[in-house]
Structure 1
Amino acid sequence: MPLPNSIIGYTQADRVRVRLVLEDGFLLIDHAQTYGNQPSLGCFSSISCVSASSTDILQQNSIVYFNVLWAELLPSTLENHPPILTIDYCKVKDEKKATLDRVSFLIDAQNERACDAWIENLLNTSYRNTIRNKRLLVLINPFGGQGAALTRYKKYSAPILAAARCRVEEIETKYKGHAAEIIENMEGLERNYDAIVCCSGDGIPHEVFNGLSKRPNVAAAFKIPVCQLPCGSGNALCVNLVGSNDLQFATLSVVKGIPIPVDLCALTQDNKRYITFLSQALGMIADCDLGTENMRWMGESRFTVGLIMRVLSGAKYPCKVSVRISHESRTQVRQAYHEHKNKAHTSTFERTQLPDLKYGTVHDPIPEDWKSIDTSSLAVFYVGKMPWVSSDALFFPAALPHDGYMDMILIDSSIPKKEILSILLGVAEGKHFDSKYLHYYKVDAYRIEPKAHSGYISIDGESFNFTPFQVELHPGLGTVLSRTGQFQAPGIGI
């Protein structure tokens, strides 16, 4: 028997009769007598809380299913008073900012059973692409976001997770590497959680992926989706998966997120092997990321200021780059992007241990089919697996979740300074992609060997030893929660 798609209720303040209808991607609310067979489709912006009058409620009369968190029928606390239908949802403005809200209606006692069925229909529809009551392991870096991560999580995220009836375990990290230890050693992780939520910058996701890589059953561990609540100075994972840095909208996107596979990268350096999910950098990018800690008070703008300073000083970073290039010209990169953009991918990795290294480690001989690139006057060496490296830097516009490639950018310091500045200041909108002054490749693997004695290497925004390292791809190894099932980036034209 099909579940009902409409129910009659009454506003609490003035007992105006309304009909709630599930149709065309919206929960519609309007005067019952105005519906007939053609319900009007209002444009949702807000619905006031429990004490709202019928005018307040009916002026803004639709809620997108994605924004619905929960609904239930509650018995009244007053004698001889009808039960109350409550709907918890996020009020979303400009598609990227959200606030928690609730609307309530009185339901005739004789309609309780029909209302229960309607609620089930609403929740089934609202959670069509994901699961309800997610079991979430929330790792909070209390030092993130200038020390405000815990406070912001409690104020903005926790109420939304509670409204969605998520089952949450919260753990505060105590020191660098603690998140990796928690994930590596937690008993029953794969059995007990539907997602790992990093309330932090990009450092905790980096630790989580590396912790997962050390689990007894790697395949099972990497099937747990990883996501981020933006509470750090760098929140690239969230920007790529959600398309916003708004904490409440990101929390809504965790509740409604769709699990998708993502490529991860294996990095070998010295005698260790790491997982990297976001980026690897040497040169100006790493220098600005890690060498501007004294400017952290400036927020994300410290990066731009640092870049300008280094470009004007003519900084260069000599090194040796050996790379296996898959797509070299901009035309080939475009073709690869559009070939893989809408291609479905399901992870088939089932081994209990990490995949073998196809190209060996940084200590092995460089394969003969790799290309050696002259980088004696390198300005920027940057490799990424996600389009956005921060909310205002679309460095890798051709990056896709699981296309099987890394995107590599090389910029030489010998080109005019104004061109370097133009490239680096154009990354906010990805305008640098077509510049003739940079190299943009799709690559399978690479090795980089610094020639200087000291400097910065940034891996997922974390500082690594200034020694040679090698990276290759593990296709579809990881899992993340995406708002729409893909990266939130404009992409590149044909």
Structure 2
Amino acid sequence: MQTRGTVLLEETFYIFNKKKTVYRVKLTEKGLSLQKESNGNSKSETIQLDDIVGCRCMRRKRRKSESCVCRPMTPGRKSGLSVVEENSTEQDENDSSVYLYIYSYLLKKGRGVKSSTLKRDKMTITLRFRSFDHLEDNMREAQRWRVAIKYLVRNKPVPPAVLMPRDHLDQDYMAEIPNSGEDRRLLVFVNPKSGSGKAKEMFERRVVPLLIDAELPYDLHLTSGPNDARRFVRQRHDLTSTYSDIVIVSGDGLMFEVINGLLERPDWGEACQLGLGIIPGGSGNGLAKSVSFAQGEPYSQNPVLVSALNVVKGHKAPMDLIRVETKSLILYSFLSIGWGLISDIDIESERLRSIGGQRFTIWSLARLVGLRTYRGRLSYSIAPGYRSAGNGPLLRRSTSETEAINNLSNGQNNGFNGNLRSQSCHEDLSAPLSLPSDRSPAPRMRLNSTASSISEEFSVLEYEIDGEVLGETAGPENINPNGSRLRLDSFYSAKSRSSAFYSVAASSYHSLTLPDDDQSPDAICMYGPASRLPALTQPVPSSWTVIDGDFVMVHANYQSHIGSDCYIAPDARPDDGVIWLAVIRAGATRSQLLQFLLGVSSGSHIHMPIVQMIPVTAFRLEPESVKSTGHITVDGELVDYGPIQAEVMPGMARVLTR
């Protein structure tokens, strides 16, 4: 039985120009332990499994014919290890070594003026297996580590055959090992027009390399227009049997399409078990920010990387959906429902979309100058555990966004999904360590760092050989134009430079299509759990609170953020079963409303006397006039102006997190 902390695999690696220094590398169910022993002193570091995304076995690349193996090193010259995939035709047949690349993304503090901020940095550990004379034996040993790590990363027990002493293993032992947790396949939707038309390029350059490191297969669908993704997921008959997760590379609008497409399937219950991932590529990225915020991840430092890591790690966390009913339709929402000021700004600023995010600022000022109020009735059912007092319910204490992230990073995350952090690993871990060999010595390695930590010494360890790097290493630099070795940044693959379309083996990188047999609009039916609310034409229950009057806005929120910089509901979590109504009544001055709009970015608006934050499980909104110039939106999408009601469906969807 494997217990947490038990050593599963262990090897000793050496640095050749430091005869008295050894590294003992241990794999446990907690992570990868690195222990440096030198001159009687010992230091250790641990890379947590939660921070490891994948690993691959690589071979040394065959050198170019003009390169001289025995040529003397030019003083001060730095050359890199050149590696290729294990099945490449360019591998060096004269080198029986196998290089295990382990890819991780560690949570680190910034430096200097940014020392209080956190970010994710890529660290690649390279272990060289060369104990045996034959390639097959070294490959077998490296594969033991690779398979064990992949099982652990997928939170599955390692097969006993992998952990057997190596002298008990035969050549075919790998064939007896079941699938190493690679039961995922992603369906990726990219809106090529989102993100100023750069979403597709961003996916190719910054997300695909991460999928390669994690060996995650995927199929890509480039959306052709509105409701294309909705139609696709509704019609794809083998959706639930082919894919484990659906990933959106766009804004919140495309996620709205996918969720409602899933609920238009007769097998909606099974379809809602698919993991939903989102990588920001549009103007509205509320869900991506909210999911990362709920786990204390440093989204603002690198939104694409942090969101892509959520997809790769693939933990399916429950997420509430909101069943929405209007006079003409039923739909499902994951973000917000708006009436009044914020919705007016969102919809009416579309005419300025060409100027980017500044359109919201400009139209906010326009709406303050021409301030509107709306008369209507708001009815709601207070969430359990809260009670009304004075102008509104008593709320839990809310913190600033920065303070909340720090609390969540320290494990105070209200249970959405706790994270383990890698210990003491704050530097690069990219250069190979080697197992001892009885054969001729490997190329001499030079350690040119005076840093004290283990990881700092790993980062500068280099082979003094000729060649170019095709494999992945870590660091903030790129590959120079002639292809010689430079270290890569934290999200950029060397391979993505050589091909505009590079996918994991067995993946499709093209726009998927469906047979031309679309259902008629009349045949489309919205499924889902039965409503617990009375019909819109019936009175609300007597236990509900009812407010009649004039409103500047009512905005119902179920995520902490409705945009990457709009921290509208600080207490909201994706699975808390609560709708947070942000209500501003008529009578607020333009100055107060300006302060409200400015405060939304930090969450300080909730302390303003004009703002009520009301936690409910259901509500109904009934505008008095159906001829108003106002707007009602659901997840940023315009719906018919008129009565609308909504209720929480707790944990109905699954969102991909770390």
Q: Check whether TM > 0.5.
A: yes
**Residue type of the alignment partner of 2:279:** L
1:437 alignment counterpart: 610
Change (3 A) 1:24 1:223: closer
Kept in 1: contact 2:8–2:26 (CA 8 A): no
Kept in 2: contact 1:292–1:303 (CA 8 A): yes
Structure 1 Cα separation of the partners of residues 380 and 8 of structure 2: 59
Structure 2 Cα separation of the partners of residues 331 and 12 of structure 1: 68
**Residue type of the alignment partner of 2:648:** L
1:78 corresponds, among 68, 92, 96, to 92
Change (3 A) 1:268 1:14: farther
1:104 corresponds, among 117, 126, 133, to 126
Confirm or deny that 1:385 pairs with 2:385. Answer: no
1:6-35 per-position Cα deviation (integer Å, ceiling 9, x unaligned):
3334679999964434479664556x5439
Kept in 1: contact 2:393–2:613 (CA 8 A): no
1:391-470 to 2 correspondences below 5 Å: 391-450=564-623, 451=625, 452-470=627-645
- How many residues are treated as equivalent by the alignment? 453
1:224: how far off? 1.0
1:47 alignment counterpart: none
Identity of aligned residues (%): 26
Change (3 A) 1:29 1:80: farther
**Residue type of the alignment partner of 1:437:** I
**Residue type of the alignment partner of 1:463:** L
Kept in 2: contact 1:66–1:127 (CA 8 A): no
Kept in 1: contact 2:319–2:653 (CA 8 A): yes
1:384: how far off? 0.9
Kept in 1: contact 2:344–2:630 (CA 8 A): yes
Change (3 A) 1:139 1:424: same
Structure 1 Cα separation of the partners of residues 39 and 563 of structure 2: 46
Bigger mean CA offset, 453-462 vs 74-83: 74-83
Structure 2 Cα separation of the partners of residues 29 and 299 of structure 1: 47
Structure 2 Cα separation of the partners of residues 332 and 217 of structure 1: 41
Structure 1 Cα separation of the partners of residues 156 and 571 of structure 2: 26
1:247-266 to 2 correspondences below 5 Å: 247-266=304-323
1:279-358 to 2 correspondences below 5 Å: 279-326=336-383, 327=386, 328-329=388-389, 332-334=394-396, 342=414, 353-358=527-532
Structure 2 Cα separation of the partners of residues 26 and 212 of structure 1: 37
Confirm or deny that 1:4 pairs with 2:18. Answer: no
1:189-213 per-position Cα deviation (integer Å, ceiling 9, x unaligned):
2222221101110011111111111
1:422: how far off? 1.9
Change (3 A) 1:18 1:99: same
1:53-111 per-position Cα deviation (integer Å, ceiling 9, x unaligned):
xxxxxxxxx75533422223345422342322232525556586557674433212437
1:237-260 per-position Cα deviation (integer Å, ceiling 9, x unaligned):
111112425212211221013211
Kept in 1: contact 2:338–2:555 (CA 8 A): yes
1:40 alignment counterpart: 44
**Residue type of the alignment partner of 2:92:** L
1:145-201 per-position Cα deviation (integer Å, ceiling 9, x unaligned):
111111111111112112211110111111111111111111122222221101110
2:253 alignment counterpart: 203
**Residue type of the alignment partner of 1:275:** Y
Unmatched runs of 5 consecutive residues or more in structure 2: 61-90, 110-116, 158-180, 294-298, 400-411, 418-525
Structure 2 Cα separation of the partners of residues 341 and 97 of structure 1: 18
Change (3 A) 1:143 1:117: same
2:231 corresponds, among 181, 204, 217, to 181
Change (3 A) 1:304 1:25: farther
Structure 1 Cα separation of the partners of residues 382 and 611 of structure 2: 15
Structure 1 Cα separation of the partners of residues 15 and 305 of structure 2: 27
TM value normalised by structure 1: 0.82
1:473 alignment counterpart: 648
Q: Report SS of the residue matched to 1:428.
A: coil
Structure 2 Cα separation of the partners of residues 4 and 374 of structure 1: 66
2:548 alignment counterpart: 374
Structure 2 Cα separation of the partners of residues 152 and 343 of structure 1: 32
Structure 1 Cα separation of the partners of residues 605 and 15 of structure 2: 54
Bigger mean CA offset, 169-178 vs 419-428: 419-428
1:100-141 per-position Cα deviation (integer Å, ceiling 9, x unaligned):
674433212437354433333433443439965631110111
Structure 2 Cα separation of the partners of residues 373 and 212 of structure 1: 35
Change (3 A) 1:481 1:279: same
Q: Report SS of the residue matched to 1:247.
A: helix
Bigger mean CA offset, 235-244 vs 363-372: 363-372
1:167 alignment counterpart: 217
Unmatched runs of 5 consecutive residues or more in structure 1: 42-61, 346-351, 484-494
Kept in 2: contact 1:12–1:105 (CA 8 A): no
Bigger mean CA offset, 161-170 vs 15-24: 15-24
Look at both structures and tell me which one has the larger radius of gyration over its CA atoms: 2
2:539 alignment counterpart: 365
1:314: how far off? 2.9
Structure 2 Cα separation of the partners of residues 84 and 416 of structure 1: 70
1:239-250 to 2 correspondences below 5 Å: 239-243=289-293, 244=299, 246-250=303-307
Change (3 A) 1:101 1:33: closer
Structure 2 Cα separation of the partners of residues 117 and 29 of structure 1: 18
1:128 alignment counterpart: 155
Change (3 A) 1:219 1:35: farther
1:386-438 per-position Cα deviation (integer Å, ceiling 9, x unaligned):
11111111101121223322110101231233222222211222112232221
1:89 alignment counterpart: 103
Structure 1 Cα separation of the partners of residues 416 and 562 of structure 2: 24
Kept in 1: contact 2:245–2:275 (CA 8 A): yes
Structure 1 Cα separation of the partners of residues 575 and 143 of structure 2: 41
1:118 alignment counterpart: 145
1:52 alignment counterpart: none
Bigger mean CA offset, 82-91 vs 202-211: 82-91
Structure 2 Cα separation of the partners of residues 11 and 316 of structure 1: 73
Change (3 A) 1:381 1:139: same
**Residue type of the alignment partner of 2:331:** Y
**Residue type of the alignment partner of 2:595:** S
Q: Report SS of the residue matched to 2:8.
A: coil
Structure 1 Cα separation of the partners of residues 589 and 220 of structure 2: 51
Change (3 A) 1:417 1:23: farther
Kept in 2: contact 1:90–1:98 (CA 8 A): no
1:37: how far off? 8.8
Q: Which has the higher contact order (CA 8 A, sep 6+)?
A: 2
1:192-231 to 2 correspondences below 5 Å: 192-231=242-281
1:420-469 per-position Cα deviation (integer Å, ceiling 9, x unaligned):
22222112221122322211111122222232533222210112222221
2:285 alignment counterpart: 235
**Residue type of the alignment partner of 2:630:** G
Structure 2 Cα separation of the partners of residues 309 and 206 of structure 1: 28
Structure 2 Cα separation of the partners of residues 458 and 394 of structure 1: 18
Change (3 A) 1:176 1:14: farther
